[in-house]
Amino acid sequence: MTEEDNTKQKIFYGWVITGVVFINLGMAYGAQYSFGVLFPSLIEEFKWTRQSISGAFSLYNFMYSVLGVLLGRWCDRFGPRIILIFGSIFLGLGIGLISQVQTPWHLYVVYGLLASWGMSATYITASPVVVKWFIEKRGLAVGVAQSGLGVGIIAIPPICGALIAAFGWRQACMILGAAVFVVQFVMAPFLIGHPEKIGLHPDGRAHEPKSSSGGIIREAIYDEISYSAAEAIHTRSFWVLTVIFFCTWLFVFLPLVHLVIFALDIGLGQKSAFIALGTLGGGSMIGRLTMGFLSDRIGRKPALAVNLGLQVFCWFWIMGTRSSWMLFLFAAVFGFSYGGVSALFPAIIGDYFGRLQAASVIGAVFTIAGVSSAVGPLVAGYIYDLSRSYQLAFLLGALTNFLALILLFFSKPPLKKVRRVEFGVRSRKGMDKSAGSEC
């Protein structure tokens, strides 16, 4: 085998991990976006308010964000495989048990509490693992992995809608839960937490590069600084990034829960509503791929600024949406910008704080900032129940993203160098601990 073939084989391992993450995210987020498809069926059968149903999803978002810091530490310590195995059980069971709900609190328990554990496990064993496998092509790799989310949003909600039409919503939940469990359980053994575990290095390289060639990848990225979560939270960089993502995620899940029923409110048919949801997923997939790739070349901050600006535009646009083409345009652009932000989130944290304990640091930011995503669906439902309109909720979405855009100009990597990651060297305490685990 030539040296070139050997290098290609080493790079191939990283892309296999990326493919596994692609599949896991597609199944999990496709199922998550199906909650909006289920929304009208729950209202029709139980006559619950939009706020009460949205509250279950908000609890789900709150819990899977809060659990990020705990599961992130466990992922770094024990490896992603065991975390995902248990996560597949919780997520599949939580979705399947929606079929048995009779009162709102049942939905809060099985979806808000049980399924959220599985969703958090899926997320924390996804992008943070990809971050550990790549440096030079980190943005592209995370974008490719997260594009599975977009594919899942395109494919699974319409399938869920078809299952509801054919078998009823209860049976559809059982089928969906079983499918999520099987796919993730089968994929779990293929996850390897970092390349050093099997004697490789990031980007498939044979040794640590001393400098970069071409593009804007700087030597500082290769000469990585690795922070623990405890160290990271004592930096200004951590908190500026956390507040940025807190603001942009406040209303990010409003369309996930309310888009289908909003389309029905403005006089569009169910077909148009499902097309809009699928368009949002397609836009998300393209946004993750495009902005992940682009951020490797123009930098994370400029790429993130573009996406935050598009988010502001989208929220103002939907305030005047009254026709199907306007709704489709909103869905496409919002999906693109939301997907771009999601792909850049783990990549920029990996750049700022290093690979070694990436899951812990990403989990810490996600726990603090991610809980804001519980607000949007609940507040939007409350606003609608009071005013019979989503306009105020849309305006709040625009304002919070504008604030995130302003704060981005104050974001900088941490100045203090805590310690250097020596790729392939296991003598340090942190690497010894990581190498001794199944990851």
The domain limits of the chain are 3-198+220-435
User: In the predicted model, is pLDDT for residue 177 greater than 50?
Assistant: yes
Q: Assess whether pLDDT exceeds 60 at residue 433.
A: no
410, 334 contact by CB (below 8 A)? no
Of the chain, the percentage scoring pLDDT greater than 90 comes to 27
CB atoms within 10 A of CB 431: 19
Query: Which of 2-6, 272-276, 287-291, 383-387 comes out lowest in average pLDDT?
Result: 2-6
Q: How far is CA 41 from CA 48, 99, 153, 157, 327, in A?
A: 10, 12, 19, 14, 22
- Mean pLDDT for 219-226 is 52
- Report whether pLDDT(432) > 70: no
pLDDT value, residue 42: 84
* Burial 153-187, CB ≥16 within 10 A → b, else e: bbebbbbbbebbeeeebeebbbbbbebbbebbbeb
322 and 334 Cβ atoms separated by less than 8 Å: no
* Inter-residue contact 31 to 223 (CB < 8 Å): no
- For the cut 80, the answer to whether the pLDDT of residue 39 exceeds it is no
Q: Express each pLDDT in 421-430 by its tens digit.
A: 443 433 334 4
Categorize the per-residue pLDDT at 400 as very low, low, confident or very high, splitting at 50, 70 and 90. very high
Question: φ, ψ for residue 268 (rounded to 5)?
Answer: -90, 160
Q: How confident is the model at residue 178 (pLDDT cuts 50, 70, 90)?
A: very high
Residue 322 half-sphere exposure, CB side, CA atoms within 13 Å?
Answer: 1
How far apart are the C-alpha atoms of 161 and 40, rounded to whole Å?
11
Structure-token match 């003598």, residue found: 427
| Per-residue confidence band for 9, with pLDDT thresholds at 50, 70 and 90 | low
| Mean of pLDDT values over 173-181 | 94
Q: Which of 33-42, 335-344, 412-421 reaches the highest mean pLDDT?
A: 335-344
| Least confident piece of the model among 20-29, 159-168, 312-321, 421-430 | 421-430
Nearest Cα neighbor of 195 from 182, 204, 183 is 204
Least confident of 3-7, 115-119, 216-220, 404-408: 216-220
Average pLDDT over residues 413-435: 47
Considering the chain, what is the average pLDDT of its residues? 81
Q: What is the pLDDT of residues 236-286, one digit of tens each?
A: 999 999 999 999 988 888 887 788 888 888 888 878 888 888 888 888 889
With cut-offs at 50, 70 and 90, classify the pLDDT of residue 27: very high
| Res 217: pLDDT | 38
Q: Which residues sit opposite 192 in a β-bridge? A: none
- Whether residue 232 contacts residue 361, with contact meaning beta carbons closer than 8 Å, is answered with yes
335-351 pLDDT per residue, tens: 999 889 988 888 888 88
Q: Residue 212: what pLDDT?
A: 39
Per-residue pLDDT, averaged over 83-93, amounts to 94
Q: Which whole number is the average pLDDT over 60-65?
A: 83
Phi-psi region of 106 (alpha: psi -120 to 50; beta: other; left: phi over 0): alpha
Q: What is the pLDDT of residues 100-113, one digit of tens each?
A: 988 888 989 998 88
Provide, rounded to the nearest whole percent, the portion of the chain with pLDDT above 70: 87
Residue 209 binned pLDDT confidence (cut-offs 50, 70, 90): very low
Does residue 300 contact residue 350 with C-beta atoms inside 8 Å?
A: no
Which CATH superfamily groups domain 3-198+220-435?
Answer: MFS general substrate transporter like domains (1.20.1250.20)
CA angle 71, 76, 80 (to 5 degrees): 70
Instruction: Read off the amino acid at residue 312.
Output: V
HSE, side-chain direction, 13 A CA sphere, residue 48: 23
- CA 316 to chain CA centroid, Å, is 24
pLDDT of 201: 75
Spell out the residues 6+ positions from residue 426 whose beta carbon is closer than 8 angstroms to its own: 196, 432, 435
Place 417 in a pLDDT band, splitting at 50, 70 and 90.
low
What pLDDT is attached to residue 183? 94
pLDDT band at 49 (very low <50, low <70, confident <90, very high): confident
What is the rounded CA–CA span in Å between residue 307 and residue 288? 11
Kindly list the distances between the CA atom of residue 427 and the CA atoms of 76, 285, 432, in Å, as whole numbers in the listed order.
Answer: 17, 40, 6
* pTM over cut 0.75: no
Band the pLDDT of 306: cuts 50, 70, 90. Answer: very high
Taking the C-alpha atoms of 65, 29, 353 and 422 in order, what is their torsion angle to the nearest 10 degrees? 130
Closest residue by Cα to residue 135 from 84, 195, 87, 77: 195
- Give the mean pLDDT of 363-369: 85
Compute the average pLDDT of residues 207-226.
45
Would you place residue 205 in the very low, low, confident or very high pLDDT band (cuts 50, 70, 90)?
low
* CA distance linking residue 300 with residue 309, whole number of Å: 14
